[in-house]
Each structure stands twice: as structure tokens, then as C-alpha cells.
Structure 1
């Protein structure tokens, strides 16, 4: 594995300060992994349709109590009313978990209530009332299966502007990717639009290849045979496990030296396995053991 070039941030620096993702059902996994996750790590808590308010709040509280920074997801299209949004924000505030949130449109084809997208959440004015200081918004380097590119760019512009006007910090969190080329092009396009928010590039932590391929198909992420081969996946051995080592090293080589880009790890293979991978990767890169 090649070292990053001197003109780019090292692969270790890209991973160092990583963020993670968990669901409301992953609290036991969080407790199992917390000894090897650096204190202060941002951990996103998803807003899944099959999990209720209590599970989401309990997970955010567990993140906070474990010494990490909870970033609860707010899925706009799943919210049935402003009152439901306020209830969620109020409960999160009670457990000290509202400073950082991720505002996202969500999966349902039809909104359940008054919020058709993340922009409408931001423009509601409710986030600040409950102590929100930083809002993560979604980025799609490889596009979205149900939203055209021009709409994605317009929404990104509008969300970045709305957050700036409200005095809220912004972070762009991307859908997971396997291929660095569209990610690098997309980052350049974001900066060309004068959006200077920090970017967290999503990529899967170590997980079973069959599971990774299933998630890629579900979210419209490119995972063709060439990319699969390039990143060490074996289509003839779908029972194997793959990690993001090569993706991370390639990405680090191509980023500009002053880049404000970090890694966000989707924990399809579990929090413990992902945190162990990150710790070992950073240690190996800093020690010069990765060749």
C-alpha cells in the first residue's frame, strides 16, 4: 500500500478524528467498543423507521455518557408534525445531545408531515431553540438514485446558505463510496461553489463483501466489477471481508494539502470491528509500517 505523497494529508491524518455511525439497536456494541474509540469522537445515531423515540434517545444518551459526541439524525420525511420534531429535540436536549445533529430528507417517498426535506427542517427555526450549534447535511458524490444532480446541487447550496444565515455551523457528510475518482471530483465541485464547510467522506468500515454489495445496490453507489477488483473485493468469494484501506490511501494521495476532509465510517460490520480497524490503520500509518 503506497504512502500518501508529501503534498497531501497523510492517510493517517484523514482517518484520525474519524466519525462513526450506529443505530438505536447498537448500544451494546457501543459499550463493547468504547474502550478503543477515542474520547470526543462524533458518533451519528440514525433515525430508522423501525426504531422509536425511546431507542433513538437512549442511543444518543449512551453515546454522551460514554464520552463521545452524539450526532442524532433527524429524518425530515419521517416526521409527522412540528410537535413531533419538538418532542424529539426536547428529549435529546434533556440528555445533552442536541449540539450536533444531522438533518436529512430520509427514505419515505411521501413526507409523513410538514417537512419534505432537510432544508425545511433547517428553516423551521426550531433547531436553535433546543441548543443546536452544528448541522450536518448530506452530500452525494455518486448522485442519488431518486434525485437528479441539479436538484442535489441546488439543495446543497440552499442548505449551506440557510445555515450560514442562521449562524449555525455546517458539516457535509457524504453517502458511502468505494471509488475515489467521483469523490475527488465532487469535493472540487463543492469548493468551486464557495461552500467551505468541512467534509466527512463516508466509506464502509470492514464488513462482509456480500453485505457491502447489498448496501451499495440499495443506495445507488457505484460498485462495478472494476471497482470491486481495485479495492480488493472478490466476486468469487462473497463470504470474505473487505476494509477501506486502499480507498483511504488513494483518497489521501489526491486531496490537497490544506483539505478540511475527514472520514466518516459506516459500521456495517459493527462498531468494534470498525473502531479496531481505524486504530490499527492510524497506528500503522504513523509508524510507517504500511507499505
Structure 2
């Protein structure tokens, strides 16, 4: 597994460990409705940034494809979400893949179970999407899957991780027999120790899919707590709860500098089991991009200067 490159920089953050190298090559995600509010992504993001497009229940496929085409035309690598429980059947999946490829030039996707309780059709999991064989046949050469460092109650309702580990082993086996390059994109967390322990456990178990660690970008504390509860973030939620009790920090926007500094420490020690970072722009895309620009190196600067 490749590690995030690490280099020293004279202007280290207050915590004492530089984080600029961690932000190099970060990815980010948007929704069609949030993307529509951005006049030009080239004024916010580095050229070639991987941009995931979240497919939320109720979003028309036309909006998804149009957003993908727009982002691709602006010079970004586009990976739409494909939530299994929102796909009615294999014929619809084939149609969507064909549209993404022919109308937007997309050849990659993030495969998810989907954020709804009841499937809309025949698919219930990302494994079932992969079993169709459509991705290889239609030339999708990059497939990412979801990772849950703090558990996934959709798969293991009792809070364990036996089924989750089985699913990850299946996906690793699939990667070995597929033409697609695969990686795992995780849910966001707020504390380094739990996600480091989880990633090291996967490595010890022989699961070596590259891990793209989810990080919550700057946002209001109340916003983050709401998202964290909705998305099932586990033990690291206590970091936000502790912050909420500190009246001096309650009204200040959260920034992920502390967790990034701790991760930089792991990189400095030569044991950072993540390939790159993925930013969740819960406080808005401009805020996430601004944070990367302020704390990252030269390669986090936007493709176009903002005027």
C-alpha cells in the first residue's frame, strides 16, 4: 500500500506537525445542487482533482450526468456515486454507465449500498453491483468502495464488524480478478487514533486496498454534529461533543487541523496506512477548498486564480 508522501515545511501548524503533504492530491465530493452554485470549479480546485458526485435519493440521473459532464469539461476526474439501493435493475445500471461514459467521459465510480432502508429494485449492496460484470464490460477502469472505520450498522446491525470484514475481503478478491483499479473511501472521522487502528488492522488482516481517508472540512459545529449522527460516526464523535461543551469554541467553525496534525505525526514515524485524503465539504465547497489552499502546498492551489 502506498503511503502519503511526507515533507517538512518551515511554517508548521500550531500543533507542531506540518500537514501540507497530507493535503496533496486530496479528493472532494459535491452534489448536483451544490455544484450548481459554483460558477467555476477551476477557481477553487487544483487541476485534475478527483471530484465525486453524491447521488442522493430523488436526484434525477439527468442532473447527475450533466454535473459529471460539466466537471469533466473543467478538467477534473469525475467519479459519480452509484448507490445500489437506488438502482432499479441491471438494465438501468447499464443505461446509467453508458450515459456517464458517452455523455461525460466518465470511466470510474464509487459503489455504495445507499442511504435508504429499502431497495428501490433488485440491488441491496455494492457487491451485487459488481457481480453484474457490467463495469468491466463497459470499460469502467476505476472502482472505489466505501470504508467505515467506526462500523457500519447497515451491514452489522449489532455493532460488530464480522460481516464488514467479510465484505472487504470479497471486494479485495474482486479487485484481483477485475481490470479496474480499486480503492476504499472512508466515512469521515474526527480523531486520528481510531482510524489509524482500523487501517492497521486491515493491513494485518491482509486487506491491502488503498485507503482514502475521509476528513470533515471546516463547518459549523452544529452542522458537523448533525451530519455525524445521521451518518453513524462512532467513537470519534466525542471530539465534537467535548468541543461543544467549551463555550470559547462553540461558536467557532470546526477545522480538521488537529486530526491532520496527528496523522502527520504518523507519517513522520513512517506508519501512515492511507493513500490520500478525501474532503467532505460539510460547510460548503468554498470553505473546504480554502482550507486546503491555506494549509496545503503548491499543488493544492486552484487551476485558475480567483479574481
TM-score, length-normalised on structure 1? 0.88
Matched residue, 1:170 = 182
Matched residue, 2:295 = 281
Contact 1:64 1:96 in 2 (8 A): yes
Q: Alignment partner of 1:20: what SS?
A: strand
CA distance in 2, matches of 1:258, 1:204: 19
Contact 2:266 2:272 in 1 (8 A): no
Structure 1 residue runs of 4+, over 6 Å off? none
Pairing 1:107-146 to 2, within 5 Å after superposition: 107-146=115-154
Q: Alignment partner of 2:121: what SS?
A: coil
Contact 1:74 1:101 in 2 (8 A): yes
Q: Which moved more, 1:172-181 or 1:143-152?
A: 143-152
CA distance in 2, matches of 1:39, 1:153: 35
Q: Alignment partner of 2:28: what SS?
A: strand
Cα deviation for residue 36 of structure 1 reads 2.9
Matched residue, 1:42 = 50
Cα-to-partner distance string for 1:108-146 (whole Å, 9 max, x where unaligned): 222222221001111110012222111111110011233
Q: Which structure 2 residue ranges, 5 or more long, are not aligned?
A: 1-13, 301-307
TM-score, length-normalised on structure 2? 0.84
Contact 2:211 2:274 in 1 (8 A): yes
Cα deviation for residue 273 of structure 1 reads 1.2
Matched residue, 2:7 = none
CA distance in 2, matches of 1:196, 1:171: 9
Contact 1:33 1:275 in 2 (8 A): no
Cα deviation for residue 258 of structure 1 reads 6.8
**Count of residue correspondences:** 279
- Aligned equivalent of 2:24, options 16, 20, 23: 16
Contact 1:20 1:44 in 2 (8 A): yes
Matched residue, 2:95 = 87
Contact 2:21 2:297 in 1 (8 A): no
Cα-to-partner distance string for 1:23-77 (whole Å, 9 max, x where unaligned): 0112234434421311010000011102111111111111101111001100001
| CA RMSD in angstroms, aligned pairs only | 2.2
CA distance in 1, matches of 2:94, 2:153: 30
* 1:266 and 2:248 aligned: no
CA distance in 2, matches of 1:188, 1:127: 30
